Amino acid sequence: MGEESEVDDVDYVKLNAAQNRKNKKAGGWQAMGLDQPIFKGIVRMGYKQPTQIQRKAIPPILDGKDVVAMSRTGSGKTAAFVVPMLQRLKKRDTKGVRALLLSPTRELALQTFKVVKELGRFTGLRCACLVGGESLDEQFSALHEKPDILLATPAVFCTSSLKWS
């Protein structure tokens, strides 16, 4: 694990230096003022430069503004809202869920869950996912750990909310 951390730090330093050179021209990731744990997650995911939707959506979200955006499949929409969410949450808090992401389908919830876990890998934030077709015991167990971020489908979230009451 120590070796992986050193590699990640070296990658971070190299990409950070490259980003700082490009900041004035292209508005790279570092121009957004992201913390190192978030940036390391971005590097690990292999994202070199923010996409158009990310460049347009992330800064206003970081400023606390509401953003409604539409973009084609594969354009980076998920990272466009996950990166600023992670940046605003920053560190683990044992109070419980601080961000709720509702997805219309099980598949999209699981896909988003994977992106949240990868981008947030170095933050210490905990994440749980409530979807149909998975073990309810495991999902409720994850909830008892008081995750910072909860992903769910609307039907399972509503059903679970009734069970918690």
Q: Which residue has better confidence, 92 or 88? A: 88
**C-beta of residue 31 within 8 angstroms of C-beta of residue 55:** no
Query: What is the DSSP annotation of 51-69?
Result: -HHHHHHHHHHHTT-----
Looking at residues 39-62, what average pLDDT do you find? 95
Looking at residues 20-44, what average pLDDT do you find? 80
Rounded CA separation 28/51 (Å): 9
The pLDDT, as a whole number, for residue 30 is 84
pLDDT at 91 over 90: no
Looking at residues 32-44, what average pLDDT do you find? 94
Domains of the chain, first to last: 1-76 (no CATH), 91-165 (3.40.50.300)
Whole-Å CA distances, 103 to 106, 124, 155: 7, 23, 10
**C-beta of residue 149 within 8 angstroms of C-beta of residue 125:** yes
- Helix ranges (H only) for the chain are 2-26, 36-45, 52-62, 77-89, 106-119, 136-144, 154-164
The pLDDT, as a whole number, for residue 71 is 94
Instruction: Work out the pLDDT band at 164, boundaries 50, 70, 90.
Output: low
Looking at residues 117-137, what average pLDDT do you find? 92
What tokens were used for 118?
A: 């990868």
pTM of the model: 0.80
pLDDT at 129 over 90: yes
